[in-house]
Amino acid sequence: MELRKFKLGDEKSISKLHEETIRTINSKDYSNEQIETWPGILDNYSNLLKTLQNNISYVVELDNIIVGFGDMGHSGEIFRLYTHKDYQGKGIASKILEKLEKEAKNLNLNKITLESSLTAKSFYESKGYKIIKKVHSKINDVKHEEWKMEKIL
């Protein structure tokens, strides 16, 4: 298993992984309407490359397949952390999260923030993230709920 920085050309595999994980893993916790209005799926990944290039973005590769990715803004906000649907529970997200936390420390940031899905909430809690509040939003009139969480570094 190799953890490396995102590079140009990864975006196709990442968008496929992202969509498949949402449709198979997150769909256990969300309605069809919520899945169809999920950022990325809704906008057909129009901004994916730009945001991955702007953020601190990592992938994990196994046998030349991207099996996980995560990205964090330069002020310590994790935007996405997704593991391939067929590689869940093998320590992939933990590896990426650990690296993003190191990167945040290198930037002298004192905390990491994120908005977690219901699916990932207990994963983040097990990594020391605390719930700050529940965030309600509406995308195309469909209600979404996330949990704003943070970890002091």
Ligand X SMILES: CC(C)(COP(=O)(O)OP(=O)(O)OC[C@H]1O[C@@H](n2cnc3c(N)ncnc32)[C@H](O)[C@@H]1OP(=O)(O)O)[C@@H](O)C(=O)NCCC(=O)NCCS
Taking the least distance from each CB to ligand X, the nearer of 8 and 89 is 89
Q: Using CB under 6 A as the criterion, which residues of the chain lie in contact with ligand X when the complex forms?
A: 21, 25-26, 68, 81-83, 88-94, 116-117, 119-120, 122-123, 126
Residue 108 CB, nearest approach to ligand X (Å): 25
| Minimum distance, C-beta of residue 82 to ligand X, in the bound complex (Å) | 5
**At closest approach, how far in Å is the CB of 122 from ligand X?**
4
Q: Which residue is nearest to ligand X (CB)?
A: 93
- Of the pair 66, 120, the CB lying nearest ligand X is at 120
- The distance of closest approach from Cβ of residue 87 to ligand X in the complex, given in angstroms and rounded to an integer, is 7
Strand-pairing partners, residue 82, are 69
**Minimum distance of ligand X from residue 84's CB (angstroms):** 8
DSSP secondary structure of the chain = -EEEE--TTTHHHHHHHHHHHHHHTGGGTS-HHHHHTSTTTTTTTTTHHHHHHHSEEEEEEETTEEEEEEEE-TTSEEEEEEE-GGGTTSSHHHHHHHHHHHHHHHTT-SEEEEEE-HHHHHHHHHTT-EEEEEEEEEETTEEEEEEEEEEE-
Would you say 3 or 49 has its CB closer to ligand X? 3
**Nearer to ligand X by C-beta: 109 or 118?**
118
- C-alpha torsion sign, points 33, 37, 40, 46: positive
Both tokens of residue 97?
A: 């999260």
Looking at the Cβ atoms of 91 and 128, the one nearer to ligand X is 91
